[in-house]
Amino acid sequence: MQHKRRELPIKLDLFVTLTRAAGRIFSVFLKSWQKHQPPQGGFTSGDGPEYQAFAYVLWFSVLVEIPFMFFLANIVPTLADHRVLIESGLAFLSISALIAFRADRYAIAQTSHSITSDGLHLVLGMRMEGRVPFNAIHSIERIPYGAWRSLSRPWQSSGLVVAKMSPLDKPNVALRVAPGAVELHKMNGSTLYPDIIGLYLDDGDAFIREVRARFSLSTSLEPQSNRT
């Protein structure tokens, strides 16, 4: 009995977190049908090729693969007995996926990373948000396409906390910040304290130029301990 009492708050907290997330997603989904203007003056991140490709894959699955599964559920004897359950499950998953993706895409399109008078305001739709004071920035670097994984592994191995702010595409900008100086707040309520932030931006070069124009930054992000 004591074991169950200890687990209940954890399960309840998870239920509350999921319920809030679902409510926020559905609220943004409803807003996505209204006319809106893209953000002005910021640096966007929603036009990456991998994120765009995912949209086509999702629509292909909904329009082609899901109907095919409906068809199989009606003709395969072993599946026919559970046809209603299978079709209900597929319909729920399809609708949920479309709602979540539309809300996510709309939220990302409505937000952008901006450079303010005192630092950077990083916002990735509903997923993550944080502020980076200018005096917390150590360096900024352009990451070649596809090189993020090979670069981030030695950083993590050296004890650095690496955060990724990207819709789906691999980051093309790496920002090193002072340890413990930056908080990134995630949709699930958790907080990250990164040493390096990987950003995907539609125009990474322009973002780097603008950040460097504010103050002098080094261009090296060699792996090193976050305690040095």
Domain with 52, as residue range(s), is 2-109
The reply to whether 42 and 86 lie within a common domain is: yes
Q: How many domains does the chain have?
A: 2
The pTM score is: 0.79
- Cα separation, 112 vs 59, in Å, equals 25
Q: Per mean pLDDT, which range of 33-37, 38-42, 185-189, 222-226 is the poorest?
A: 222-226
Domain membership of residue 224 (yes or no) is no
Write out pLDDT tens, residues 103-160: 999 999 999 999 988 899 999 999 999 999 999 999 999 999 889 999 999 999 999 9
- Give the residue carrying structure tokens 């990724």: 164
Return the pLDDT at 182. 96
Q: Which residue has the tokens 């340890």?
A: 179
Average pLDDT over residues 93-112: 91
CA atoms within 13 A on the CB side of 67: 5
Q: Is the pLDDT of residue 24 over 70?
A: yes
Mean pLDDT of 199-222: 79
Q: Are residues 93 and 70 part of one domain?
A: yes
Looking at residue 145, its pLDDT comes to 84
The reported pLDDT for the residue numbered 213 is: 85
Model confidence pLDDT, tens digit, residues 26-78 = 899 888 888 777 667 789 998 888 998 998 888 888 887 777 777 776 776 66
Residues pairing with 113 in the sheet: 43
Calpha distance 3→8 (Å, rounded)? 9
- Looking at residue 117, its pLDDT comes to 83
pLDDT of residue 2: 46
Asked whether 51 and 201 are in contact (CB, 8 A), the reply is no
pLDDT at 165 over 90: yes
- pLDDT of amino acid 218: 44
Q: What integer best gives the mean pLDDT of the chain?
A: 83
Of 56, 78, 109, which residue constitutes the final position of a domain?
109
- The answer to whether residue 85 scores a pLDDT higher than 60 is yes
pLDDT at 32: 86
| Residue 102 forms part of a structural domain | yes
Residues 95 and 165 placed together within one structural domain of the fold: no
- Bigger pLDDT: 21 vs 132: 132
Give percent above pLDDT 90 in the chain.
45
pLDDT tier at 100, thresholds 50, 70, 90:
very high
Question: Of 54, 80, 109, which closes a domain?
Answer: 109
40 located within any domain: yes
CA 223 to chain centre: 24
